[in-house]
Every structure is written in structure tokens, then in C-alpha cells.
Amino acid sequence: MFGFIRPVKPELRVKEADRFQQVYCGLCHAIRARYGAFYTFFLSYDMTFFALIAGCGAQGAAAPCRRRCMAHPVIERPCAAPDEALALAADVSVLLTYHKLEDSLADERGGKRLLAAVLCRLGRRGYERARARLPAVDAEMVQALDELHGLEQAQCASMDRTADASARMTAAAVPRTGDARERVLRQMFYHIGRWIYLLDAAQDVGEDLASGGYNPVALRYGLRTPDLSAVRQPLERTLERSLADICMAFDLLDARQDAELIRNIIFLGMPLVTKQVLDGTYQTNGGRGKHGSL
């Protein structure tokens, strides 16, 4: 995933900022324990958010543990204790990462395509393991991704059609349980996927115009330059529709754990990133060089 989903730290209480960092580190350890070190290099804030949502129905978080890792080999750091939510987030993270690598292999050229091919080969064994754990989830992702590839190859100028295919891939990350909670979560992650896809396309307009790559925002509005000022208002409206549905789904979720932290991310962090991308001020990880540190 892309790292767009993150909290606004100045609006967090200290214990909430610490909790986000602990879940981030806990997810990293969960991925390493289940799949080895390779997939930990693709850990994102987006999947940390997924882990928070997956565990928000619990009555209370277990006490954090302290562990060392490759990034912090000397001093032990507090991290979230292993649980089902972190295990699920680790599995989903591997599936989404591998399919993103496959997407890059299909879309990129030259050195970037070669790099994607190498990474796909290195990640294949972990992906097969994750697919065996979540076969139905992976099948849905593959179906949605195949449809997205077809639309991209046809140079589809409809943002809604391509965003829908990408959103269904993200919604597939929610395992089927047949209850009301599943329906709410699928609605939430459908619109999260839609928001991420369109926001990523808006951010990549300049790069895609220069390389000749597919970009639904550029095609929809006939853009010839990276300047989004002329189309900012309609873009903002369509992104805000998905944000409104995400907020509504969260209100229906009845979160018992990490509710204020999740609320900060959804109601403050995601609108802020939307504004930053559209006005050209967005920086990965808030401009910090070290990923994973709020």
C-alpha cells in the first residue's frame, strides 16, 4: 500500500501516539515471524491502520512487550503483543504487497520492470504461504486486479470504473464472516481503496505524463501538465464522498479499542493528506527520512 493513511500527531495524546508506534512495530514482528524479513521492508502506515481496525472490536489491548529488531538491534522497543489482528494484517499485507509488485511488473518498463521482476521472485514463497492461509481473500484480489489491468490496457478514461476495481481489491482484505460487522468493514475498505487509488493517481500525474504511463485522472480531465489547480474542485468532491462513507462506516463499527486513535486517522489524517496531495505539498512520512517514526 501507499502510506497515505496516518494520524495527525499534534492532535494525538501521548499514549495514542505510543500505541500507533507499538502496533506498527508489532505488525513488523508479525510479518517477520510468519514470512521472514523480506516483506517487512514493505511495511506501511496503511497496514498499521488495518491492524488497528481488525482489532478494534476487542475489549482491551494486551500489555505491550519489548523486542529488538534489525532497525533497533541494541535497545528493546515496546511493541504490540502478538494477536489475531496482527496475524491477519500480516497475511493481508503480504498479499497486497505481492499484487502491487505484480502490478508494477505489468506496468513499468526498463530498470523498474527488472526490479519488480526480481522482487516478485523473492516474494513468491511468502505470497504462496499467505494465499494458502487466505485463499478466498486472494481469489477476490486477483479477480479485481485482473479487471483493473484490463481497464488500464484499454486506456479507460473513467475514474469511477478503475477506482471501483481497485476498491474491490482492498475490500477483499476483509475476510467473509457473514455478519453485520463484515458488511461495515467491507464498505469502509472499499472506500479506503477508492480514495487511495484516486489520490495516488492525482499524485502521479506529472510522472505518468512524462513516462507515458496510464493515469485515470489525466485521461478524465485531459491534462497535459501536472498542474491540478483547474480540476482540484471536482477531484476534491469525489475524494470527499469516499471520506464521508469511511467516516459513516466507522461510526457504525462501534469500536471498543483504539477508537480515538482511529478517529484521528480518519477524521483528521486522511482529509489532511487529501489536501496536501491536491495542493502539491504532500511528503512521504511527513518529510521525515526514517519511515515508521511518527
Condensed to tens digits (0 to 9), the pLDDT of residues 14-36 reads 999 999 999 999 999 999 999 99
Percent above pLDDT 70 for the chain: 96
The residues that bridge with 79 in the sheet, in sequence order, are 65
Using 50, 70 and 90 to split pLDDT, how confident is the model at 289? very low
Q: Cα(122)–Cα(38) distance, rounded to whole angstroms?
A: 8
Res 30: pLDDT: 96
* Distance (Å) of CA 46 to CA 43, 96, 178, 209: 8, 11, 25, 27
Mean pLDDT value of segment 228-251: 95
Q: What angle do CA 23, 24, 28 make, to 5 degrees?
A: 110
pLDDT digits (tens, 9 = 90+) for 90-138: 999 999 999 999 888 877 778 888 998 999 999 999 999 999 999 999 9
What pLDDT does 2 receive? 67
Q: Are the CB atoms for 27 and 51 separated by under 8 Å?
A: yes
pTM score, two decimals?
0.91
> Which pLDDT does position 39 carry in this prediction?
96
Kindly report the average pLDDT of the chain as a whole number: 91
pLDDT of residue 285: 62
C-beta atoms surrounding 73 within 10 Å:
8
Q: How confident is the model at residue 257 (pLDDT cuts 50, 70, 90)?
A: very high
